[in-house]
Structure 1
Amino acid sequence: MTSFTIGDRQVGDDSPTFVIAEAGSNHNGDLELAKELIDAAVDAGADAVKFQTFRAEEMYVEDSGEVEYLDDNRSIYDVIESMEMPYEWIPELHDYCRERDIFFMSTPFDERSADELAEYVPAWKVASYTSSHHPFLRYLADTDKPVIMSTGAHELDEIAESVSMLRNVGVSNLVLLQCVAAYPTPLSKINVRFVETLQNKFNVLTGLSDHTLDPVTAPSAAVALGATVVEKHFTLDKTMEGPDHQFALEPDELDQMVSAIRDTESALGTGEKHVLEVEEELYEKARRAIHAVRDIEAGDEFTTENVEVLRPGEKDAGLDPKFYDEILGETSARSIQKGDGIQWSDVR
C-alpha cells in the first residue's frame, strides 16, 4: 500500500499528510456555528473538516446511565441525543465546504446516517467504538469508498479481525489510525509508535487520531513515523457548553498543528543524501584538505612539520585528508607557499 485518492487528493507515502479538522458535534446544534467551524478549518490549512452524524437511539440503550468523563448529570443517551446533527444540514454543509475548497466529511454511526451521507463524503471515517462492528463495516464497504478507521479501545487481535473482514469484502483503500479513547489523552499515553506497528502488521497506510491537549507533539511525531493522516478535534472556544469543547484545539492551536505538520514534512526530506546548494559555500571553505603550513621548496620532503589537514577558507582546497599518510615522505615537485593546498601535481 503506497497511496490512493480521497476526492482529488492523493493520500500516501509520497503525499502531504491529509489533515482532518474534527469539528465533531462542536456545532452545538447551530448551523451557522458549524459553518464558522468550517471557516476556521480552512484558515488553518486543513484538508478536510469532519462532523459526526448519529442518532442516540442507534447508539445507546435508552437506560444507559451516566459517563464520568462527560461531567454531566444527564444520561449518556440524553447527552448524545442533544448533540445530534440534523440530516438536512448535510447538503448545505457539503456545499459550503465545496465553496471554501475543503473536503466535507462526517463519521456515520449507523446505517441510516451512512445513507444520508453517502452522496456527500469522499471517504468513510470509522470511529473507534465502531471499528469492531463488522456488520456496519460491511455496510460501508458496499459503497466502495476509502475507509479511515480509528483503533482506540481495541486490542491488536481485534483490529486484525476487522482488517481481515474489510479486505475480504473488497476494501483495499484503508487507513488505520492510532487512537486512545480518553478525552483528553495524557501525552504519556498516546503511544505514537503504534503508528509503525500498524504499518508493519497490516501493510496499510496509517495515521493518528489525537486527543491530547498538545497541538504539536503527537501529530509531528506521528508524521515523522510515517503517518499519512492526522485527525484532531477543534472548537471555536474551549469554554463553550458541550462535552467535546474542553479537550479540543482552538483555531490558533489548529493553525499551529497544521504548520507543525507541514514543517515536519519539510524537515523529513527525501531520505537521499547529496551536497545541497545551501551547503556549497561551506563545502568549499570548511571541509578539511591537505595544506602547506610552511613554505616548501622543490625537492623538500612532505612531513608532519610542513603539511597539515586544515580548512581552506578562501584558498583552493588541497587533496582530501584520506591521502595525507600517502603523501608523507614524498618530495615536492615545486615551490609551494605557506597556506597553499597540496595537489597531486605537487607530488614528485
Structure 2
Amino acid sequence: MQGHEVDIYRYEHRGPNFTDTFLVGGRAIGRTHSCFLIAEAGSNHDGKLDQALRLIDVAATCHADAVKFQLFRAKNLYPRDAGQADYLAGRTDIYSLIQSMELPETWLPRLAQHSHEQGLLFLVTPFYPEAVATLLPFVPAFKMSSYELTHVPLLEAVAATGLPVFASTGASNLVDIDTAIARYRSAGLRELVLLHCTAAYPAPLLQANLRSITFLHQRYQVLTGLSDHTADPLLAPVIARTLGACVLEKHFTLDRTLPGPDHSFALEPQQLELMVKAVRETEQALGLEDKQVEQCERELHHFARPALFASRELAVGDVFDQSAIQVLRRGATKASLDATYLDRLLGRKARKAYHPGEPVALDELA
C-alpha cells in the first residue's frame, strides 16, 4: 500500500485556530514572551527518590522554568519479547530496561511539592492513557513524547483534560503531524505548542533541521519550540530561540557517567546553567520587532547626525545654493538644521550672516 502524498507547501486548516498566547502555571507562553525552558530530568533519577529531588534542585539553581519527569510502565510500552534497540548498544532487552526506569506513582506528590518550593513548574510526560488521570492533580500542562504522537487514545485523553499540550514531533513525518493536529483540533484543544525534535540520542547537528521550527509554525499556524537532543548545550537552543521557539526542552543529569541510558547525552548542571544563560541573553539581544534610537545611542544620535553648515561667507539675503551649504556631522553644536531639510533650504535667502563652518540656524525655515 502506497503512503499518503503530502503537499508540504499546502495545508488545509479545518476547525478553530490554536491560540497564539496562553498561560501555563501563570507563565506566559508565546512568541513574544520569554522562552519557556523545560529541564528534562526524564528517567535520570535511576529509581532513587533522593536523586530525583537533587535533579529538581539543579533545575531550580540553573533557573529553568519547569522540571519534567516521565510516567511510563513497560507493560504499556512494549511487548515482553520486543528485543533490543541498537541505540542502547546491547545494554539489555528494552522491556527489562524500561521496567528498571519506571517512576513510582507514590513519588508524585513529593516531587510536585519540592518543585513548587523551588519555584519550578512540575511537568510529567504520560505514556499511556491511564497515566493522564494520575497526573492531572499535579501538572499544569502535558508534555507529549515524540513516539506517542500517533497514540490516538493517549492524545484524546490528554486533550479531554483541557490543559495545554507541548507535543514533540521526533521520528515523525507530515502525515503523522497532520493526523495529530486533526485529533487535537477535533477534541477542542486550543493551547498547543509543537516541538520540533530529532529523536536520536544524541542527535547529530547535521540532522537537527532547526528550520523545521519555522516551517511547522507556518504550516499549522501554531506555536512551536524545540525538544533538543543534540550534545552541544548552546548552539541548537540559541538558534531555536532566534527562529521563534517559545518552548525549549533539554535533557539534563547530575553526572554523565551515571548508569542508565539517558545520562550520556544529557547536559550536566554547569552546561544546563550555561544554556539557560545563553537563551536569556539571546532574548535580550533579539529585543523587540521595532526600530528606535536606543538609550545607548542617544549621544551619538545627536553628535554624529548629519546637519547643514555654511560652506562660505554669507551675508543677509544671500541665497542658499549648493555652493553655500555643506553637510557635516553635528558634533557638539546645540542648534543646527538637520540634513534632511536640505531640499527645503535650497533657494531660500539667509536671514542672518554666516561664517564658513557655522551651523545653519533652525529659524531659516520659519
Asked if the contact 1:4/1:11 (under 8 Å) is kept, the reply is yes
1:115 CA displacement: 3.0
For 1:165 and 1:318, the matched residues in 2 are separated by 65
TM-score (norm 2): 0.89
Asked if the contact 1:290/1:321 (under 8 Å) is kept, the reply is yes
For 1:223 and 1:234, the matched residues in 2 are separated by 19
For 2:67 and 2:295, the matched residues in 1 are separated by 38
Aligned to 2:146: 128
Q: Pairwise mapping of residues 272-287 of structure 1 onto structure 2 (< 5 A)? A: 272-287=290-305
1:332 CA displacement: 2.9
Asked if the contact 1:315/1:339 (under 8 Å) is kept, the reply is no
For 2:340 and 2:138, the matched residues in 1 are separated by 64
Aligned to 1:333: 351
Counterpart check, 1:177 vs 2:202: no
TM-score (norm 1): 0.93
Aligned to 2:9: none
Q: Secondary structure at the match of 1:11?
A: strand
Asked if the contact 2:318/2:349 (under 8 Å) is kept, the reply is yes
1:346 CA displacement: 4.1
Residue ranges of structure 1 left out of the alignment (5+ in a row)? none
1:163 CA displacement: 0.8
Counterpart check, 1:68 vs 2:86: yes
Residue ranges of structure 2 left out of the alignment (5+ in a row)? 1-18
1:111 CA displacement: 2.5
Q: Secondary structure at the match of 2:185?
A: helix
For 2:268 and 2:214, the matched residues in 1 are separated by 29
Q: Deviation string for 1:88-134 (max 9, x for gaps)?
A: 11111111111111111111111233332221111111100001111
For 1:111 and 1:347, the matched residues in 2 are separated by 76
For 1:252 and 1:243, the matched residues in 2 are separated by 20
**2:207 alignment partner AA:** K
For 2:262 and 2:81, the matched residues in 1 are separated by 22
1:276 CA displacement: 2.8
**2:196 alignment partner AA:** Q
Asked if the contact 2:129/2:153 (under 8 Å) is kept, the reply is no
Counterpart check, 1:264 vs 2:282: yes
Aligned to 2:158: 140
1:258 CA displacement: 1.2
Aligned to 1:7: 25
Runs of at least 4 residues of structure 1 off by over 6 A? none
Aligned to 1:204: 222
The counterpart of 1:59, out of the listed 63, 74, 77, is 77
Q: Pairwise mapping of residues 301-312 of structure 1 onto structure 2 (< 5 A)? A: 301-312=319-330
Residues 127/179 of structure 1: CA separation in 2 closer, same or farther (3 Å cut): same
Q: Deviation string for 1:227-286 (max 9, x for gaps)?
A: 111101011111211111111111111111111222222222221222233322111111
Instruction: Count the aligned residue pairs.
Output: 348
Q: Deviation string for 1:286-315 (max 9, x for gaps)?
A: 111111244433344545555311111101
Asked if the contact 1:319/1:344 (under 8 Å) is kept, the reply is yes
Q: Pairwise mapping of residues 291-306 of structure 1 onto structure 2 (< 5 A)? A: 291-306=309-324
Aligned to 2:5: none
Q: Which moved more, 1:177-186 or 1:134-143?
A: 134-143
Asked if the contact 1:332/1:347 (under 8 Å) is kept, the reply is no
Aligned to 2:6: none
For 1:276 and 1:261, the matched residues in 2 are separated by 22
For 1:345 and 1:94, the matched residues in 2 are separated by 69
Q: Secondary structure at the match of 2:193?
A: strand
Counterpart check, 1:244 vs 2:265: no
**1:9 alignment partner AA:** R
Q: Secondary structure at the match of 1:88?
A: helix
The counterpart of 2:97, out of the listed 68, 79, 100, is 79
The counterpart of 2:232, out of the listed 214, 222, 232, is 214
The counterpart of 1:228, out of the listed 246, 266, 271, is 246
For 2:295 and 2:62, the matched residues in 1 are separated by 31
Q: Secondary structure at the match of 1:153?
A: coil
Residues 196/307 of structure 1: CA separation in 2 closer, same or farther (3 Å cut): same
